[in-house]
Amino acid sequence: MATEHADNVQHAEHALTPSGYIEHHLSFNAYPVNESAGFWTLHVDTFVMSVALGLIVMGLVWLVARTATAGVPSKGQAFVELVFGFIDDQVKNIFHGNRHSFIAPAALTVFLWVFAMNAMDFLPVDWVAGVVSFFGGEHAKWRAVPTSDINTTFALALSVWILMIFFAVKVKGLGGWIHELFCAPFGTKIWVWPANFLFNMIEYVSKPLSHSLRLFGNMYAGEVIFLLLGLWAATGLTGTIAGAILGAGWSIFHILIVALQAFIFMMLTVVYLAMAHESH
Amino acid sequence: MNINFTLIAQAIAFAVLIWFTVKFVWPPLLKAIETRQKEIADGLAAAADGRNSLEAAAKKSEVTLTEAKQKASEIIAQAEKRGTQIIEEAKGNAKVEGDRIIAGAKAEIEQEVNRAKEGLRAQVSTLAIAGAEKILRKEIDAKAHSELLAKLAAEL
């Protein structure tokens, strides 16, 4: 779990100060892509981890899909088809259009990618830090869980948000969409237009926020708990044993959270995109 | 909680991944699964067809069997009837033949009787002549009266 190397990775400056340890583990490997820095900063760790995971996961699925046969499937194909069927069933229950052209494959991408990124939480935090400090020196920072970076979850949620508006305009036309902004859900009477518009604005703002913050909060909290257990493990033999046991327990419980949050994120994506297709 | 360029980078990565899945991952899997579903559905339909035709064949064979049984019993009944008829005919023929034979026999017997009568008659006349001869021998010359005697014999 997160305990064994707690001592090893402490830098002299941070040695055994809890705030230093946590700060080290919650700092991004930030790289300014522009002199002005500020917004123009890239979290290299988040980006590299997520892209690598995306390529690995979707690449593996692609390798299976390439040679997919309608006959007797191989074990790998059977597993991929199991995931495929699971996602397809969920989408089918929510969205009643041509799901195969976009929404279902998008849901598959979201589920597998988010699941893989969440699953990085199982890597012991100090082992990751150990590997990184071996290559990058003691000051090197590396956060392994891309979904505990608000940028990732917000990027996904905003992409879904943009798709949502895109589909709404595509299905209802620009006029229809604007009409709906003012005339739903309370009715078409002119004096309820402000209420309708306000209601829709709140909905459009709250959707990406709740979508992204739910995933971010869960993964961030999970990581912080691993760090606290790691801290405890650094306080002596009792702490090491207790921290290891609790860390194991939290990891096992975290399997549920990782899968559940990936599933929820995928379901919300599908629900939002399906809602965009529906006329009121 | 600092929003920065990572957001844009991640959004681009997301878009690329979705594009990749939509284009290369989903369609072959969908095709494979749908083809297999169709094959299974076809197989089940064929099995149902087979079951139906089996039922129809069983029904048909039952009907044929019933018909055959009926025909067989008809044939047997007809044969029995014909048999009785033949026996009746034979009986009739036998009776006719018997009657004919009896009639023939009767005629023959009559003929025989007549012949016997004829013989007897001839013998009786000879005897009568012999008797008369014996009686007349003493009185008549045979030669003188032979003509008369022959006439008498003829009349007998």
Domain with A141 in it? 12-277
The predicted model scores a pTM of 0.74
In a domain, A25, yes or no: yes
ipTM summary value:
0.86
pLDDT at B142: 62
Domain with B85 in it? 8-36+45-155
In a domain, A2, yes or no: no
pLDDT at A11: 42
In a domain, A256, yes or no: yes
Size of interface A-B (CB pairs under 8 A): 122
Among the partner-chain residues B26, B28, B36, the one whose CB lies closest to the CB of A108 is: B26
Give catalytic status of residue A214 as yes or no.
Answer: yes
Among the partner-chain residues A38, A62, A70, the one whose CB lies closest to the CB of B25 is: A62
In a domain, B1, yes or no: no
In a domain, B111, yes or no: yes
Neighbours of A276 (CB within 10 A): 22
Q: Cβ A41–B6 below 8 Å, yes or no?
A: yes
Total domain count, chain A: 1
Q: With beta carbons less than 8 A apart as the criterion, state whether A26 and A143 touch.
A: yes
Q: Higher pLDDT residue, A31 or B56?
A: B56
In a domain, B105, yes or no: yes
Rounded to whole angstroms, the Cα distance separating A24 from A17 reads: 11
In a domain, B133, yes or no: yes
Residue B74 predicted with pLDDT over 60:
yes
Q: Higher pLDDT residue, A202 or B121?
A: A202
Q: Higher pLDDT residue, A206 or A141?
A: A206
Total domain count, chain B: 1
- Residue reference for tokens 């025909």: B71
In a domain, A3, yes or no: no
Q: What is the pLDDT averaged over residues B10-21?
A: 94
What's the whole-number average pLDDT of chain A? 87
Residue A115 predicted with pLDDT over 60:
yes
In a domain, A5, yes or no: no
Nearest CA in chain A to B4: A39
Q: Which tokens is A245 given?
A: 């046991």
Q: With beta carbons less than 8 A apart as the criterion, state whether A56 and A116 touch.
A: yes
In a domain, B74, yes or no: yes
Q: Cβ B21–A69 below 8 Å, yes or no?
A: no
In a domain, B107, yes or no: yes
Nearest CA in chain B to A102: B22
Give per-residue pLDDT as tens, A1-43: 344 444 444 444 445 577 888 887 888 888 888 777 778 888 8
Given pLDDT bands bounded at 50, 70 and 90, which one contains residue A231? confident
pLDDT at B139: 66
Cross-strand pairs, A32: A41
Q: Cβ A108–B20 below 8 Å, yes or no?
A: no
